[in-house]
């Protein structure tokens, strides 16, 4: 008989389903399911944001979407995400959008409709904070 754990009890990884960084902004991103892995990688690439919950394929109001819930200590990742979004559209020739929400359902903006500066300003203003504690800027 094979012992997979070699005498040690199974220790599952701790699942994080809620934001933990005090004072971080909480933002929800929705886009096309095909782009989930790339979206996640780009969001976390700057070190200012962490995806605490992600679903590669969710159905919301009959629409298939990739869903990422992000806690962010800054917003440099939004510009990096827009740069990637433009390159991906040119590379593949398939138009898609990246939409931003707060409180999971309140639409804030998207890359097709808004400039990055306006989008970041609205996210700073409207996104809830973890613990309700403002971060010194």
Please, what are the domains in the chain?
A: 25-129 (3.30.70)
CA angle 84, 89, 93 (to 5 degrees): 155
pLDDT for 4 equals 60
The mean predicted confidence, pLDDT, of the chain is 89
DSSP string, 26-44: EEEEEE-GGGHHHHHHHHH
Distance in angstroms (rounded) separating the CA atoms of residues 83 and 99: 15
Distance in angstroms (rounded) separating the CA atoms of residues 122 and 89: 25
* Tokens at 52, concatenated: 């605490």
- pLDDT band per the 50, 70, 90 thresholds, residue 136: very low
Answer with the residue of higher pLDDT: 109 or 131: 109
Report whether pLDDT(122) > 50.
Answer: yes
- Could you read off the pLDDT of 18-30 as tens digits, one per residue? 888 899 999 999 9
Q: What is the CA radius of gyration of the chain?
A: 17
Report whether pLDDT(70) > 60.
Answer: yes
* Structural contact between residues 26 and 71, judged by C-beta atoms closer than 8 angstroms: yes
Q: Indicate the pairing of strand 49-60 with strand 106-110.
A: unpaired
Answer with the residue of higher pLDDT: 136 or 33: 33
The predicted model scores a pTM of 0.84
CA angle 7, 12, 16 (to 5 degrees): 165
């Amino acid at each position: 008989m094979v012992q997979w754990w070699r005498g040690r009890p199974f220790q599952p990884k701790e699942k994080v389903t809620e934001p933990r960084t005090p004072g971080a902004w909480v933002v929800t991103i929705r886009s096309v399911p095909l782009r989930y892995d790339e979206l996640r990688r780009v969001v976390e690439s700057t070190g200012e944001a962490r995806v605490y919950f992600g679903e590669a394929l969710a159905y919301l109001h009959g629409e298939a979407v990739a869903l990422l819930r992000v806690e962010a200590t800054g917003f440099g990742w939004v510009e990096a995400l827009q740069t990637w979004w433009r390159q991906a559209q040119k590379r593949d020739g398939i138009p898609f959008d990246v939409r931003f929400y707060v409180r999971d359902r309140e639409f804030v903006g998207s890359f097709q409709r808004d400039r990055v500066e306006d989008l970041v300003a609205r996210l700073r203003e409207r996104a809830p904070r973890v613990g309700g504690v403002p971060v010194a800027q």
